[in-house]
């Protein structure tokens, strides 16, 4: 799911379970090191992620030229072709994504440019105590605005027929992870016909909202656009303060957009932090609300609702001014974001349970309470989702308290 390049290890930590693959890698590394001026003696483990990929870091012979990343992705388990295709799309969009420098497609070894070892998430976590609502002009706020600019640049480059469709079938498969893995296998609750029918009703509402809100607006969707997948430029060693962005529009109460918001214009993707973008290989063509929901309802970091609103409003203002199809009513847009986020929360609960039970990665379950809270919070705001809120409380063994907003 998310690679993290912050804790490099030594060459001794690189273990190969398949001697044949180790031999192929040694041969590939020898040829690639000579062609790309790399120092094989500096090879070390950089990270692994929730998939079957892992990453190494290797220095160039000329240390001033920096380092590169090597992806190890067994072809039988990981298809690298989408990564290569989407990296090129991101480069075309002006984003700071890894460049593919060499690729052995048959063996699944890839040499990439190195975007650094510090994620936006790690830089945020360095701030103590963490402000629940970072003010405009603060380093954290500026990082989020840079992320917004990168997201808008990515969305502006969208065109149909290039990436797989985020359609009803894919939404259904993702939502089914929740009962299959979280409810049945993790919580040990039998998903009988009655429960499955209840869930099918909720899922139908969620899919209808996600596919048809905002006129069914579609763009390129990263699918995991969040601080753990955004890298800080190696040239930045501190947290610079920047000028405050323009004021936000206010809470999601509906109404018209600010004047002058319909003319397309260029949006720069490189801000003060020159954010690099990772983990994009599962990108699709789908609802415009997905990535902003992913950014603000983070898998590993929770913000005060005011901050979520502040950044989401600023995104909406910028996106609308850039000509993206986000609608003229922020209230309508925010409802679509929340319902899109709900689908993502339920999906991730299933994924994290599967990572634990099938793949032996139990640390992901530590973040499941965050997603239950996200899902319950959204369900509590909409009357038609009230029964889902009650069901979530039953699954978690909590008492239901009702108070709808819409």
pLDDT attached to residue 248 = 40
pLDDT attached to residue 366 = 87
- State the Cα–Cα distance between residues 333 and 228, nearest whole angstrom: 25
User: What are the tens digits of pLDDT across the range 169-195?
Assistant: 999 999 999 999 999 999 999 999 999
pLDDT attached to residue 130 = 73
Domain ranges of the chain: 11-113, 120-396
User: What are the tens digits of pLDDT across the range 347-403?
Assistant: 999 999 999 999 898 988 888 999 999 999 999 999 999 999 999 999 998 876 655
End-to-end CA gap in the chain? 34
- State the Cα–Cα distance between residues 395 and 379, nearest whole angstrom: 14
11-113 architecture in CATH? 2-Layer Sandwich (3.30)
pLDDT averaged over every residue in the chain: 86
CB atoms within 10 A of CB 206: 20
Spatial contact of 146 and 276, defined as CB atoms under 8 Å apart:
no
- State the Cα–Cα distance between residues 338 and 391, nearest whole angstrom: 18
- The whole-model pTM stands at 0.85
Tell me yes or no: is domain 120-396 CATH 3.40.50.450: no
- H or E element in which residue 286 lies: strand 284-287
Instruction: Give me 194's structure tokens.
Output: 């009655």
Closest CA to 246 of 153, 310, 334: 310
3-state DSSP helix/strand/coil % of the chain, to nearest 5? 50, 10, 40
Residues of the chain with pLDDT under 70: 1-12, 48-51, 128, 234-273, 400-406
pLDDT attached to residue 326 = 98
* DSSP three-state, residue 279: coil
Phi, psi of 276 (to 5 degrees): -90, 150
């Amino acid at each position: 799911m998310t690679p993290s390049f912050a804790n490099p290890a030594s060459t001794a930590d690189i273990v190969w379970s398949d001697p044949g693959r180790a031999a192929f890698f040694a041969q590939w590394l020898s040829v690639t090191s000579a062609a790309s001026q790399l120092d094989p003696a500096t090879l070390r483990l950089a990270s692994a992620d929730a998939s079957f990929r892992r990453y190494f870091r290797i220095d160039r012979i000329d240390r001033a030229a920096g380092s590169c990343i090597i992806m190890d992705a067994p072809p039988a388990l990981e298809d690298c072709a989408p990564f290569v295709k989407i990296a090129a799309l991101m480069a075309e969009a002006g984003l700071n994504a890894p460049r593919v420098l060499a690729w052995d497609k048959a063996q699944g070894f890839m040499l990439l440019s190195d975007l650094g070892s510090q994620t936006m998430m790690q830089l945020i976590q360095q701030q103590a105590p963490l402000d629940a609502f970072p003010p405009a002009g603060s380093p954290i706020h500026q990082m989020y605005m840079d992320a917004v600019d990168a997201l808008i640049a990515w969305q502006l480059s969208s065109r149909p027929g290039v990436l797989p469709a985020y359609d009803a079938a894919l939404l259904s498969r993702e939502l089914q992870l929740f009962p299959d893995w979280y409810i049945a296998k993790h919580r040990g609750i039998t998903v009988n016909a009655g429960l499955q029918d209840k869930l099918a009703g909720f899922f139908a509402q969620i899919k209808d909202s996600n596919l048809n809100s905002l006129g069914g607006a579609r763009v390129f969707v990263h699918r995991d656009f969040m601080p753990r997948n955004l890298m800080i430029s190696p040239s930045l060693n501190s947290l610079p303060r920047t000028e405050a962005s323009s004021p936000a529009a206010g809470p999601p109460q509906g109404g018209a957009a600010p004047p002058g918001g319909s003319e397309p214009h260029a949006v720069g993707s490189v801000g003060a932090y020159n954010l690099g973008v990772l983990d994009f290989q599962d990108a699709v063509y789908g609802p415009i609300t997905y990535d902003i929901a992913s950014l603000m309802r983070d898998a590993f970091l929770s913000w005060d609702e005011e901050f979520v609103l502040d950044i989401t409003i600023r995104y909406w203002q910028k996106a609308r001014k850039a000509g993206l199809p986000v609608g003229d009513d922020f209230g309508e847009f925010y409802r679509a974001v929340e319902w899109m986020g709900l689908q993502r929360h339920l999906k991730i609960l299933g994924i994290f349970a599967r990572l634990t039970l099938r793949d032996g990665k139990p640390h992901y379950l530590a973040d499941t309470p965050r997603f239950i809270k996200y899902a319950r919070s959204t369900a509590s705001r909409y009357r038609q989702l009230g029964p889902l809120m009650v069901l979530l409380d039953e699954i978690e063994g909590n008492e239901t308290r009702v108070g709808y907003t819409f």
